[in-house]
Structure 1
Amino acid sequence: MNLFNLRSKFFRREVESRLYSGKKYQLPKLEKKVRENFPVQLARLKEEIVKINITQESPEFPEADAILGKSYGSYYHYNENLANLPPELGNKIAWKINLENLPNGFDPVAVWANGTLAYVFDLSILALYTGDEKYAGKAVKEILSFDEENPFCTGLNWLSVDFAAIRTVNLILSVVNLSGTTELSGSTDRIYDIILAHSVWLDNMGEGTEELPANQGLVSLALLLCGIVFEESPYGKRLLFESLKRLERDIYGAFYADGTSKAHSTDRHILALEIYLTAALILRQHKAQLSEGYKKLLREACRTFQSYLRNDGTFPNLGDAFPVNLLNFLSPYNNINPTIVMALALGYFEDLNRVNLDLPSRLATDYFLGGQVLSRVAGRGQISSGDSLAYRSGGYFLIREAGINAFIKAGESLSKGSVSAAHGDLFGFELWYKDKPFIVDNGTYSYFFDKTLRDKLRTVLYHNTFYVDGGKLLEVAGSLGIRQDYTQPKILEWEDNSLETRLVCQHYAFVRLLDPVISKRTFQLDKQENKFWVKDEFYGGQP
């Protein structure tokens, strides 16, 4: 057992001891000046992070009243899902809840998505732009309400590392945005404790429990913000130091050298880039800095992300959906928005050159980078996605020409030594023609709502690839993990010239059958006749 796991075990025992005896867990007492200077620290962070020119003409917010009407539990199918919530889960210590034993018909992701406080961040953005304190008052009310309904370490919202980290980022930046408002000033002591509770939980539960290694940076980013908030204390200085080290480590676990994400599902590619880009933006004016190696890999990831985007700004969709942005910026709920990430990348790295800005991406750019950068980014021309590209490290290939746009997965599903929410979709692809979807990947709509259906939809039978005699490409382990990837994929040929683009790939998953077969798939685009076809070949087996 490593030191972190030992510390986490002691933390859980201490929490259980307090809760079972009817007492509250005692948060650490930081130096008195840290609490006293909390409003000042928030104001300093606002000056460092938020670049919006408040005096400029405010944009139109057609959804403002709808956002004002939201509350915890009012979006992401929460209410209809809540009817299936086992009553005992609300009062159960989080780590005593076994996700694999949840009943069919209940999806904890609906609870977690509501628990990110994305709508609170949206309210704080509206308060920044409009100066109307009704948004600030609503945001503070919702933070306090969430705290009342979700006692520390109790219930589903204290179970998911991913979503608790996103909540922490939303919570801190929302409070930073509300700094100086009268609505916040009356609740600073309590909000200080809420942030500290999230910091303690992530510090003791975050590392080593993350199910998707490509997104370990979520915890590091959240603790980075906690460290900055409590920077005047030794506790905060430790968090800041350790989270910076983790971010520098985690980014190499998230991306290959060519910038491709190590996450299986493409929505997780968006989230991973958003995490590491947000960390870089937050630290732009802080004395703590990220290394040049970090920034170099981040630039490559941004370039790769840029190349994936289609002409209309949409992103390939293979694997599972992820329901929320790290920071929402008034995006529609239930959907991760790639244009936010691309806009921030364009502002941070000036040599990138592709843009199609919607309102959320404009707000994000204005928020982190300011109006001048927004004007520069919005003024750039849009590049047509016409080049075929090969990303061998991550195993992604793009074949594009004259309206044909194919996104192909030809890499391993399982990174060595890690757990991944992977699918049996090797050599699967998504095909668009003239900016319209023609062949799509179905993925799965939920990890937990129907576990039998979830496992079925992850198999090779439900993807745009082939199978032989019912053979499997991989062995699953619960709703999220996989035990073994049998494929051992190999790229036999990649050719892109003036006449054609051709990808030939091979895997060995079916050599395990009683009648062994080596499987090969060829993707070919004839540029002269503008024809695209897929050819499958199988070697071995009985005649």
Structure 2
Amino acid sequence: MNDLKTAISRLFKPKKITTNSYLSPTSTPELPTKLTRGTDVFLYVDFQIPDLQPVKVSLDFGKEEKAFEQFFHYLKKRTSPSLLSPALNQENLRDLLEANHAAEIPAIRNAAEKILQHHFLLYALHPLQTDFPIQWNGNYETGAMQVWKAGRRYAASELTEDNTNDIYPIWDFNRHQHLLDLGKAYWLDGNKQYATEFLHQMTTWIEQNPYPLSINWAAPEEVALRGIFWLFGYQFFLDSEAFDEEFFCRFYQMLLYHGHAIDDSFRKSGASGGSVFSIVARAAFLYLAGTMLPEYRYSKMWSTRGWDILQWKTPMLLPEQLLENSIASLISIAELYCFVLLVRKNNRYLISPPVMEGVTRLLDSLSQFLKPDGTICRFGAEPQKQLLPGMFGQSHDMRYLFVMAAIILKNARFAALGSPFPGSLIWLFGEEGRQEFEALTPALPSQPSCLLPDGSYAVMRTGWGHDSSYCIISTSVPIAEPGRNHSDLFSFELAANGQQYLIDSGAYSYQEYETWNRYFSSLQAHNTVTVDQTPHILPNKKVESSIDLWTTTPIFDLFSGTHNGFEELSQPVTHRRTIFFYKPGYWIVCDLLTGEGHHVFDQFFHFAPFRLNVDFTNKCVNISLEAQRYFTLMPFNPKELDVAILTGGESPDSGWISDGYRTQIQAPVIRYGKQTSAPAAFNTLLCAYSRKTPLRFAGRHLQAKYQGEAMLLHEIVALEISSEEGMDYLFLTYQPKPEPIHLEHLMFRGKFCFLKLQKEIVREIILIDADLLVMNDRTLFQSPTRIERLTLAFQGTEVSASVTGNATTFSMQYPEMTDVLVNNRRTLVRREGDMVIVSTSRI
């Protein structure tokens, strides 16, 4: 009888909701426009999910309110899928942080209190005080706030090409990275104020930004990044009392609109989807939205599309494209990939070997730009950004990326680069992730120095530790107009013994014609040479750069290259830069400028914010640090040079570097200049060392003669460097000669030589493409054929030789020598009078 009543009741009761249409999404996705009350969500739910069957049964019986209660309870209480570590919850969080990462707790609380007071940070740097409520479409950086009105579609190009109003700070603020900070504090303390603040901010944002009619819908990658942080907010606050039915409908609908906006951007763009960063950001969000909102009828389609793009199954993105990006983009791309892979790992989804290999290559490439202090090389026109540290947890230290990659990829190299495990990652990895990281045995990369595969950068380093030395040289021609790309050709950054000394001035803003931005993109803002005060090297078919010498060994690195970026001058000039790195902290930079005519030549060195001690007589710079550490920059032939040292002047070119978006700080710059006819040269010593008292360096050019005639600047550079610790010589022949070159008391034939003496005793000889070196009529080296590369280290009566190239023999006038090692192998020698003859053959 009861069964009959139930059947009759179901037959005659009108049904407002049916579930038949939820089972297969249409080919053209339908926007969730009807989501105004809780039960409307069932118009967009996929009831094929097993956990939603009780909800479906209630609907089939017409019990809509009960069905929504069941659905809402299911959303609030489920623990999977998750953006965070599956082992992490509000109950164990405090104990976990107090046990291993106690410093995180006050930082999290402090950030949340600032957010309650509407104290924010733009680009993790600029303090920003906003109204109550916040004007999300307004620019708080301007004196009189400008508000972009909602109610119409904006094209991204319309906003980015406006040189009077900078849209980027507004977009940065509207990424809502602070939701990550606020959510952490809510989970830590359960403070209801944090949940209420989240609700108020999201409500006002939704009211001010109707889809898709505001400036905050114009740039798809910005929509995607905001969507990622909304997903964090969704996970952190969904279980709060403030997250009621009314707010759920508004927030959930707008979150779905973000997904539709990104899905639509891919449908419209086809195979040409924009920049690689934009593609990766959008694909990452689409995948994460589809994963985190599995009940939505289009979620499977979103996650599949996003993951297919990220694993290079579409023509929109190819793995080799990941590496063809600016350094700032590489950072963001690597972070997004690591996060997506982490979410897959946490939710027990497979990560295919090709994806693992591709992300490993991406992080390997990024590692080449990693400095000893954990920061990343500053080259490029884009400011560097971090995502997962949130708004208040950001710093310039990028090692956390390698920690993430080490755990996800189980990579010992990345573990060595990322150590130690930062407390901020406990949210994503949990205690299990920290233990996985500590279980890895760090293994540093075997080849510290390298020339990047595309030849865009040459990297010199002694190792990867916090006290290592590092020099990176930009070697590629800029590919865009000034203001969009920086004229940093042959510029370099330099750190010695873990301390940054010479740095790139950095990226300033995206406003192409802004005065400060024009300066920071110019040649004068980089550690390079200018001719006739040329501000930019403009890319065209005539401008080329080439590397004609690159060699790296455990003892030294040597780079030499040329570019013709001054071809547009009425009397063109070619720039050759050679950098010799004698490890661990000794560099010689040789700049040769050839061509015709009279010119103004300037050489620039930009320092990190230091107090410089300047010897105006010798025009050299000295820096003294704690722990008896010193750094010296010394030009040769100082009397030929004009010198200017500027710090914090009125104009951009008077001693400033960028410290973030639209932020500059005082930092000294030194300019050496001369007015002369080409060819012209600058030769400079850079030396970092530890000693009880500072060294006093002196340098001079040696007279070089070939067949009795004095050699010219464009033929050879021959330098002598003296100090209390000894004497060094460097010879570099730009035009090698068939007969020996006489250099006062020395004679040399070859391409390159570095000779080190202590108390007039030879300690080391480095030769490249050479067959003769004589000092004071004593034959230090002689070979019947040119030797490709040879390093000789002398210690008492023992000589260690490192040889590259074909087997040969060479002789040395060392009668006191008793032992010779060739490539770490003891070898037999024979003697002819006071000459010792060594064979490099293994037989």
Q: Normalization by structure 2: what TM-score?
A: 0.53
Q: How far does residue 494 in structure 1 lie from its aligned partner after superposition?
A: 1.6
Q: How far does residue 252 in structure 1 lie from its aligned partner after superposition?
A: 10
Q: Does 1:531 align with 2:593?
A: no
Q: How far does residue 307 in structure 1 lie from its aligned partner after superposition?
A: 4.7
Q: Does 1:62 align with 2:106?
A: yes
Question: Which among 32, 43, 50 is matched to residue 85 of structure 2?
Answer: 50
Question: Which among 435, 446, 471 is matched to residue 406 of structure 1?
Answer: 471
Partners of 1:44 and 1:173 in 2: CA distance: 14
Paired residue type of 2:212 = C
Counterpart secondary structure, 2:45? helix
Q: How far does residue 170 in structure 1 lie from its aligned partner after superposition?
A: 0.7
Counterpart secondary structure, 1:70? helix
**Aligned pairs, number:** 507
| 1:302 matched residue in structure 2 | 363
Question: Which among 251, 265, 271 is matched to residue 205 of structure 1?
Answer: 265
The answer to whether the 8 A contact 1:319-1:442 is kept is: no
Paired residue type of 2:325 = A
Q: How far does residue 288 in structure 1 lie from its aligned partner after superposition?
A: 6.1
Q: How far does residue 154 in structure 1 lie from its aligned partner after superposition?
A: 3.5
| 2:403 matched residue in structure 1 | 343
Change (3 A) 1:233 1:136: closer
The answer to whether the 8 A contact 1:312-1:356 is kept is: no
**What RMSD in Å do the two structures reach over aligned CA positions?**
4.1
| 2:625 matched residue in structure 1 | none
Partners of 1:368 and 1:140 in 2: CA distance: 24
Q: Does 1:367 align with 2:427?
A: yes
Q: Which has the higher helix share?
A: 1
Q: How far does residue 427 in structure 1 lie from its aligned partner after superposition?
A: 1.8
The answer to whether the 8 A contact 2:345-2:408 is kept is: no
The answer to whether the 8 A contact 1:274-1:326 is kept is: yes
| 2:120 matched residue in structure 1 | 74
Q: How far does residue 495 in structure 1 lie from its aligned partner after superposition?
A: 0.6
Q: How far does residue 325 in structure 1 lie from its aligned partner after superposition?
A: 2.2
| 2:256 matched residue in structure 1 | 196
The equivalences for 1:353-392 within 5 A come to: 353-354=415-416, 361-364=422-425, 366-378=426-438, 387-392=448-453
Paired residue type of 2:288 = L
Partners of 2:548 and 2:42 in 1: CA distance: 59
Q: How far does residue 317 in structure 1 lie from its aligned partner after superposition?
A: 1.8
In our comparison, the structure showing a higher alpha carbon Rg is: 2
Q: Which has the higher strand share?
A: 2
The equivalences for 1:16-27 within 5 A come to: none
The answer to whether the 8 A contact 1:217-1:247 is kept is: yes
| 1:118 matched residue in structure 2 | 177
Partners of 2:397 and 2:273 in 1: CA distance: 23
Q: Normalization by structure 1: what TM-score?
A: 0.79
Question: Which among 320, 338, 342 is matched to residue 281 of structure 1?
Answer: 342
Partners of 2:317 and 2:593 in 1: CA distance: 34
The answer to whether the 8 A contact 2:220-2:261 is kept is: no
Q: How far does residue 210 in structure 1 lie from its aligned partner after superposition?
A: 6.8
| 2:577 matched residue in structure 1 | 521
Paired residue type of 1:196 = L
| 1:178 matched residue in structure 2 | 237
Partners of 1:47 and 1:100 in 2: CA distance: 35
Runs of 5+ in structure 2 lacking a partner?
Answer: 1-27, 48-67, 130-139, 598-677, 679-843
Partners of 1:540 and 1:103 in 2: CA distance: 38
Moved more, 517-526 or 36-45: 36-45
Change (3 A) 1:146 1:531: same
Q: Does 1:497 align with 2:509?
A: no
Counterpart secondary structure, 2:120? coil
Q: How far does residue 463 in structure 1 lie from its aligned partner after superposition?
A: 1.8
Percent identity reads 16
Q: How far does residue 511 in structure 1 lie from its aligned partner after superposition?
A: 3.6
Change (3 A) 1:282 1:141: same
Partners of 2:544 and 2:581 in 1: CA distance: 25
Deviation string 1:191-232 (CA, Å, 9 cap, x unpaired) is 211111111222233674976434420011111122224544
Partners of 1:256 and 1:67 in 2: CA distance: 39
| 2:45 matched residue in structure 1 | 33
Tell me: higher relative CO, structure 1 or 2? Use CA pairs within 8 A at least 6 residues apart.
Answer: 1
Partners of 1:39 and 1:468 in 2: CA distance: 70
Partners of 1:100 and 1:195 in 2: CA distance: 25
Deviation string 1:399-427 (CA, Å, 9 cap, x unpaired) is 12385321222235449xx9994212122
Partners of 2:277 and 2:545 in 1: CA distance: 21
Partners of 2:592 and 2:211 in 1: CA distance: 56
Deviation string 1:346-398 (CA, Å, 9 cap, x unpaired) is 21122333266689x4232x233321221342577878899323322262222
Q: Does 1:217 align with 2:280?
A: yes
Q: Does 1:322 align with 2:367?
A: no
